[in-house]
Structure 1
Amino acid sequence: MSDCQLYLISPLDVAGNFPQRLERALDAGEVAAFQLRVKDVDQHEAARLAEPLQAICAARDVAFMVNDSIALARRLKADGVHLGQGDGTVEEARRELGRDAQIGVTCHASRHLAMEAGEAGADYVAFGAFFPSETKASEHRPEPELLTWWQSLFEIPCVAIGGITPDNCGSLVSAGADFLAVSHAVWGGDETAAVRAFHEAIRAAA
């Protein structure tokens, strides 16, 4: 039985009808977390965009995460922050956001970075991109065995990210991913159908 869960990442544009799309996605099947990932907007605008999305997540007991910005996560009183390698340290995030915040760290394909993040107190590590991504270019292409290696040694959950679809996620679930971080595969089409398809694929791989 797999305990693998979905971790949705927002498209860059969360204005317009996106709140309704998020509601449909979260109502289509269980989602563990939602990450707000907006670029090139100031913090005030990001906070305005976040408000309805955060409420939708709270109503459904879905963790609301902020990408990259410890300051925005603190302003929103978000459930946590996801840090890239250049977005500040786990220690800084913990100091700013408190001991209950969820702090995740992008580790690409690096065992060393993941171990460092774990030692610093990260709540999860993210590996990827496992497949070519429509959302974000990455030169890092880990093998699924990296997830298996991590699971064999560490208690901290691992997130698989990068180009993941219902058709290709099975190998990552089988390898031991605790979470599948997905964006384009959900928002690039019918979000309700996509979430359902992911759940079917996770069950089939379990």
Structure 2
Amino acid sequence: MPPRPVGGESRRDDRTIEPDMTTPRPRLFLVTPRAVALSAFLPKLEAALSAGDAASLLITPDMDEDAGFQKVAEAVAAVAQKNGVAAIVANDSRVTGRAGADGIHIDTGVDDLTDAIERFQPKNFVGAGGLFDRHTAMLAAERGADYVFFGRIDREEAPGAHPANIALGEWWSSLFEPPCVVMAGADLATVDAVLDAGADFIGMRAAVWSHPGGPAEAVQFANARIDAFGGDAP
């Protein structure tokens, strides 16, 4: 198996590479919500991460613009890592270091990705987003990205998973070793579509944070669907 983002206390150089003999259990890759106050979000985050398995949490700068990205990242990363979830910061290398994050997510182009890989690996994860075609995804993997992310974090999700993300996930998972994240839609039922695409990680944002029953219930539901789908526990 290729390296897979794991808990906040295990940095990239501490991971083991397992032999490719079993089917790994897909895991959740949560993304912080948009335009939510930090003080209101932290209890929801704690509830979500206490409710079931999640591999990673991607921290985006648009969550609470009034609080400032560094303050948000420091507070959110601390909660994630306390719960054994890898904290990954979107695009900002300075905030990544100051927040003590486990990794950085780059969706601003291959040149920026290359710079981040040179700066942060092997101590930290470096993931690649902003991948909307096969060529760019392959180029990101060739540069050394720890994972590829199919989906957008700069806009709200539609109820259903985007067909292009599903198609890219299906193509990637059938051919390549680096793990892929496929963004689900705002409807929790789209977890099944992402699982069927063969994704290693299920990207979830609105489906968790805007779930009528609360984020904990959403995480429990998603993990139940993963368990029903099959695969070995992380």
How would you bin the TM-score normalised by the shorter chain?
0.7 to 0.9
- How far apart, in 1, do the equivalents of 2:146 and 2:171 lie? 18
Residue equivalent to 2:99: 76
Residue equivalent to 2:193: 171
Aligned-pair CA distance for 1:58: 1.6
Aligned-pair CA distance for 1:95: 2.7
- Name the stretch that deviates more: 44-53 or 96-105: 44-53
1:191 matches 2:207: no
Q: Is the 8 A contact 2:148 2:179 kept in 1?
A: yes
- How far apart, in 1, do the equivalents of 2:37 and 2:225 lie? 27
Can you give the 5+ residue segments of structure 1 that lack an aligned partner in the other structure? Answer: none
Aligned-pair CA distance for 1:99: 1.6
Deviations 1:162-199 (A, max 9, x none): 52533122122122100011111111130011111111
- How far apart, in 1, do the equivalents of 2:197 and 2:182 lie? 10
**Equivalences for 1:39-188 in 2 at 5 Å?**
39=62, 41=65, 45-86=68-109, 89-128=112-151, 134-135=156-157, 141-142=163-164, 144-163=166-185, 165-188=187-210
Percent of aligned pairs with the same residue? Answer: 33
Task: Determine helix, strand or coil for the equivalent of 1:53.
Answer: helix
- How far apart, in 2, do the equivalents of 1:192 and 1:80 lie? 24
Residue equivalent to 1:33: 56
Task: Determine helix, strand or coil for the equivalent of 2:38.
Answer: coil
Distance 1:144 1:135, change over 3 A: closer
- Give the counterpart letter for 1:187 in structure 2: W
Can you give the 5+ residue segments of structure 2 that lack an aligned partner in the other structure? Answer: 1-22
- How far apart, in 1, do the equivalents of 2:45 and 2:163 lie? 29
Residue equivalent to 1:24: 47
Deviations 1:16-53 (A, max 9, x none): 221111110000001100111123849x9222222222
Q: Is the 8 A contact 2:56 2:85 kept in 1?
A: yes
- How far apart, in 2, do the equivalents of 1:104 and 1:31 lie? 17
Aligned-pair CA distance for 1:72: 1.7
Distance 1:174 1:2, change over 3 A: farther
RMSD: 2.5
Q: Is the 8 A contact 1:74 1:96 kept in 2?
A: no
- How far apart, in 2, do the equivalents of 1:88 and 1:105 lie? 11
